[in-house]
Amino acid sequence: MKKTSLKGLDMTLYSEVLSNGLEIYMLPYANKKNYYVTFVSKYGSDVIEYIDVTKKNHKPPLGVAHFLEHKLFEEENGIDPFSFYAKSGTDCNACTTYDNTQYMFWGNKNFNKNLEYLLKFVTHPYFTSENVKKEKGIITEEIKMYNDNPDYKLEMKLRECLYKNHPRRIDIAGTVSEVNKITKDDLYDCYNSFYIPSNMFILITGNFDPDIALEIVRNELDSNSNKKIPKIKEVVEPVKVNKEKEIIKANIEIPKVAIGLKVSTKNIELKDFDLSLYLNMLSTILFGDSSLFKERVRDKKILNGFYTGWEHLDDISTFYITAASIKPEELINEVMNEFKNVKIDEESFNRIKKVWIAKEIRIVDDLEYMADNIIYDIIKYDKIISNKIDIIKSMKFKVLKDLIKKIDFNNISIVIMNKK
């Protein structure tokens, strides 16, 4: 097994790649009683068209990745994973995102049997016309429920305004009409194309024996053949936002605001983790809890909740702000003022670096958080960033100033949600 030291954290990550291309990552803890296990396919709703190994083009209905996640929880023998894990006092779940699908369980006993079961149920799909038809009703109700949620409706409308072509403008679960088109053949085609060892990995954190875990995985999956990953059709997304402003209505008491800044990163020298760090630094200085912006809008009493975050695609990074405000236009003006008059200072820059370093050390104790970080590295960068603390320490104020000069702060979409 390969050993990778997570610098500054006193942790060792063990990894192995099986002959079929399956990657296994293991982060054992000596001081924990519990464990957290995730089986991941690098397949999410971003894949809307692909060419398989036979050179056949596929354009399945929207929502297949999410539908697959649901259907893998139904087995031919009638036993479902929730029932299996509940018997041992273990929890399980799954989730589909834009770029991956995860199946996980966590607990503090029966590790070996629980791991064996996870590997079996994810790798043995059971789709029939009948159970697919039944699931359509469940998923379409789920879609309708989310569409009635004001916060979700606000986010999706902002995505539609930001993106013109990219699947990030589409609900992960798809649409009601598209889901109703899904057949068992669609599911098997996508499953057989993307749920293959070379497009999947396993991550285990917590209290377990790496040698035993590796042996279990080998016994269950090493015989699977090494298939080639299909070619995913590239989507060309313009740098310019799709729509600058839209006003919508919903059953809410306090108006809501969503603002998106679309940044072209094609000509920026910073890449991958370094780029995300500096962009996060910029947004933290401008809109973080200790920012002058936050102090100002709080004093004016025009803020009721505030969330920010970045989303990184190949050549585009998007910054999201969502908030509730009794004076939405005034709040928007405050945000726009920050974008038009970007002010950063080296003292805040260095203070935030220290906070981030302390956070990296502190989160080591959280198995799920550590797992999420490692999964993000693998999906986004195709590698483990093992020296994050060193990279944070090496951040330079001048690099941030140079980055700011390359950002078009006018490339913005705004969505206002008012009371019906």
The catalytic residue positions are 69
One DSSP character per residue, 290-301 reads TSHHHHHHHHTT
One DSSP character per residue, 179-223 reads HTT--HHHHHHHHHHHSSGGGEEEEEEESS-HHHHHHHHHHHHTT
- Can you say whether residue 277 is alpha, beta or left, with left for phi > 0 and alpha for psi between -120 and 50 degrees? alpha
CA distance 162 to 166: 9
3-state secondary structure of 419: strand
CA distance 254 to 271: 39
CA distance 348 to 397: 10
Residue 87 belongs to what H/E stretch? helix 81-87
Nearest to 166 by CA among 25, 63, 380, 314: 314
